[in-house]
Amino acid sequence: MTIKKLAAILGLSHTTVSRALNDHPAISQATKNSVLQAAREYGYIPNSAARALRNASTGAFGLVIPDIQNDFFITLTNAIAHQAAEHGWQLMLAITGDKPDMEYTVLRRLLTARVDGIIFAPTAAPLAETQEMIARSNAVQLLRRHESLQAPVIAIDDRYGIALAVQHLRDLGHQRIGYIGSSQVLSTGAERLRGFLQSFSHDEQLALNDIIDVGPPQAEFGGEAFQRIMASANPPSALVLGSPRYAMSILLAAKALNMRIPDDLSLVAYGDVEWGRLLEVKLTTITLPEKEIADACVAIIRRLMEADSPVTPEAFYATTDSRIFTPTLMPGGSTKAFTPRR
């Protein structure tokens, strides 16, 4: 959608539409409102972004993440930022707070700022306007994926990673294994829960219902879910954490219950935590391929920045493949062979 097309639809001159979009004082408020409404409806992006696609690279790209409290996103952002600095690229960081309206706002602002591409972790329910905007942009979904978005994905095989954790515990003799993870509204939460459930037969899954708890990706949820699970009539001998954000609150909850890790409960965490090295007992973790993911992001950015001519969205999608990386198990001191409770 261009200004000329928008002007033709509205029956206005190209100049009037351009001035209305730029809040020119000579244009009446009613006309401005009409033009802005049409721009939203027809998916028009301000001409600065359109010119960037047609004319030349700006040397800037956007990185959009839910927050800066997640250890994995912090590590990834640092790695990408260092690479960007080395290559002389400008990194524009934006936070969505996992809110679809904020997601639309920050993505639109980045495109208006003429970034050459965007790497972003989508929210659970992107707005229709976001879906349309992404389809016309050089964008890559990071870690999460949403089926409504026309963009390649750089992610982790979450299902395999959680299944790896369960297999480790079963190899140690544990059968009663609990799970605490984020809700299925996000692709990561859904895939990790599937990975856990697929490790058990249907009958085994039914027996584990009371020791599976999923909820919001906030740290405090982990401790609350832990207390519920350990209060069940038949608590687990081992526990898989579907997010590293839950680890601290769960360890504190275990301490409050005078539970020893791993003597009373074996524990596997999905993803590393920076403070883990301070623990007396090193956590057994599913280690995520942070460097490989950062390198994949940088490779895509390099393609956009070093292209002889601007890369159109059509060309970008045709040549940019999704990449799914495999996590690994890093044994630690928080798991041990099952011993029946006395």
Question: Quick one: CATH architecture of 47-151+290-325?
Answer: 3-Layer(aba) Sandwich (3.40)
Residue 175 amino acid letter: Q
How, if at all, do strands 60-65 and 90-95 pair?
A: parallel
d(CA 337, CA 170): 9
Confidence at residue 49, expressed as pLDDT on a 0 to 100 scale: 46
**Residue 192 corresponds to which tokens in the numbers above?**
């990790």
Tens-digit pLDDT string for the chain (342 aa): 788 888 899 999 988 988 888 888 889 999 999 998 888 888 787 654 444 444 456 788 999 999 887 778 888 899 889 888 888 889 999 999 999 999 999 999 998 888 889 999 999 999 999 999 998 889 999 999 999 998 999 999 999 999 999 999 999 999 999 999 998 899 999 999 999 999 999 888 888 989 999 998 888 999 999 999 999 999 999 999 998 889 889 999 999 999 999 999 999 999 887 777 777 788 999 999 988 999 999 899 888 888 777 788 888 888 888 999 999 999 999 999 998 876
> Do 120 and 301 form a contact (C-beta atoms < 8 A)?
no
* Domains 47-151+290-325 and 158-289 in one fold: yes
Residue 184 backbone zone (phi > 0: left; psi -120 to 50: alpha; other: beta): alpha
Given CA atoms 215, 219, 222, 224 in this order, what sign does their dihedral have?
negative
> Do 116 and 59 form a contact (C-beta atoms < 8 A)?
yes
What is the pTM for the complete model shown?
0.79
Residue 92 amino acid letter: M
Domain 158-289 is in which class?
Answer: alpha beta
Confidence at residue 342, expressed as pLDDT on a 0 to 100 scale: 63
Among residues 141, 109, 111, the alpha carbon closest in space to that of 123 is found at 141
Confidence at residue 46, expressed as pLDDT on a 0 to 100 scale: 63
* Residue 105 CB neighbours (<10 A): 15
Q: What is the DSSP letter of 275?
A: G
> Do 132 and 108 form a contact (C-beta atoms < 8 A)?
no
**Residue 109 corresponds to which tokens in the numbers above?**
């602002």
In the chain, what are the domain boundaries? 3-41, 47-151+290-325, 158-289
Confidence at residue 215, expressed as pLDDT on a 0 to 100 scale: 92
